């Protein structure tokens, strides 16, 4: 196997799109259908595709791109991981772990920036959140109590791919993701990517849910330190899948990053 860390470009993201269409979530109970528009947005600020190839044939890929986050009056760049995909003919050979490790080491060595990402269990990285949940909703319930943000860490918008929902409580950035079930049923989900609150985050999420479900089948949100499982269930969200949230950094990170609030599905 040969490893290459390829800078993102129009040509490489187009090749990536074809690869993901053929092999992402192969054999799973549902399939995430990434669009070219999503990949163009993900790599908008520049990123890398780590590729393990076998005689020139892509066998495994790991996507990492740069994003700008805001905390208070400060802004800072981080790397966040995206799709990790192994060719259907090369599964169960440890290639996912290998391509993640090789990509991360090269990126950390060159840029000295932390790499964050939500993923399945079994990746050999430091875990910021362990056994947290992804939750979906199609019947929102009005909140019975208030909850306020301890720290507002949120994504700085780029381009026009993300949608924005705003109220007096704050705003939510989200995008529409195409999903296909094993039975071949196509659905559209609204994925909550990041949010900022001046008021109650429960009220913000509830009002957003009512509005988003007018145009999509479900809403997906990631549990974190702030929005706990019991709070999400109280708003009508149901457990969909579990995830770990990984951080790979060459230096110690500030404690407020426990409230990390940027996720892609």
Among 254, 262, 258, 249, CA closest to 221: 262
Based on the fold, state whether residues 95 and 185 are members of the same structural domain.
no
Q: What whole-number distance in Å separates Cα of residue 117 and Cα of residue 137?
A: 23
> Which residues share a beta bridge with 176?
190
Which pLDDT score is estimated for 26? 54
pLDDT at 126: 67
Domain shared by 111 and 135, yes or no: no
pLDDT attached to residue 124: 59
DSSP 195-256: EEESSBHHHHHHHHHHHHTTT-SEEEEE--SSS-HHHHHHTT-EEEEEEEEEEE-SSPPPGG
167's tokens: 């109220």
Q: Please indicate, yes or no, if residue 264 is contained in any of the structural domains.
A: no
CATH of the domain at 33: 3.40.630.30
Q: How does DSSP assign 150-187, residue by residue?
A: S--EEEPP-TTSSEEEEETTEEEEEEEEEEEETT--EE
Residues 143 and 236 in one domain: yes
> How much is the pTM?
0.91
Domain assignment present for residue 74? The answer is: yes
- What is the C-alpha to C-alpha distance for residues 71 and 214, in angstroms, rounded to an integer? 32
Number of domains forming the structure of the chain = 2
Q: Which domain holds residue 176?
A: 131-242+252-259
Distance of CA 206 to the CA centre of its chain: 21
Q: Would you state the structure tokens that stand for residue 236, as one six-digit string? A: 């009508």
- Which residues, given as ranges, of the chain have pLDDT below 70? 26-29, 120-128, 255-258
Residue that is last in its domain, among 75, 106, 129: 129
pLDDT of residue 221: 96
CA distance 155 to 53: 33
Determine the pLDDT at residue 120. 65
Do 94 and 121 belong to one domain?
yes
Separation between Cα atoms, residue 154 and residue 138, nearest integer Å: 25
Residue 216, C-beta contacts closer than 8 angstroms, at least 6 positions apart = 176, 187, 188, 189, 190
Please give the biggest Cα pair distance in the chain. 59
* Residue 192, in any domain of the structure: yes
- The reported pLDDT for the residue numbered 165 is 97
According to the model, what pLDDT value does residue 148 have?
87
Decide which of 129, 160, 195 is a domain's last residue.
129
């Amino acid at each position: 196997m040969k490893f290459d860390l390829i800078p993102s470009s129009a040509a490489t993201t187009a090749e990536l799109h074809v690869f993901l269409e053929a092999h992402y979530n192969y054999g799973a109970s549902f399939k995430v259908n990434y669009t070219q528009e999503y990949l163009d947005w993900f790599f908008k600020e520049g990123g890398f595709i780590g590729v393990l190839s076998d005689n020139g044939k892509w066998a495994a890929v790991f996507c990492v791109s740069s994003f700008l986050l805001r905390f208070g009056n400060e802004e800072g760049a981080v790397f966040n991981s995206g799709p990790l995909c192994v060719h259907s003919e090369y599964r169960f050979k440890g290639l996912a772990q290998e391509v993640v490790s090789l990509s991360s080491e090269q990126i950390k060595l060159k840029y000295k920036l932390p790499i964050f990402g939500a993923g399945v269990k079994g990746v050999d990285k430091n875990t910021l959140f362990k056994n947290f949940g992804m939750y979906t909703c199609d019947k929102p319930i009005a909140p019975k109590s208030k909850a306020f943000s301890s720290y507002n860490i949120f994504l700085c918008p780029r381009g026009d791919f993300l949608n924005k929902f705003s109220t007096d409580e704050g705003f939510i950035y989200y995008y529409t993701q195409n999903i296909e079930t094993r039975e071949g049923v196509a659905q559209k989900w609204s994925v909550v990517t990041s949010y900022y609150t001046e008021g109650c985050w429960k009220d913000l999420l509830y009002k957003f849910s009512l509005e988003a479900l007018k145009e999509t089948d479900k809403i997906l949100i990631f549990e974190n330190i702030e929005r706990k499982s019991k709070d999400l269930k109280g708003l009508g969200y149901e457990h969909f899948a579990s995830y770990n949230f990984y951080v790979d950094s060459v230096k110690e990170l500030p404690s407020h990053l426990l409230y990390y609030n940027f996720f892609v599905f």
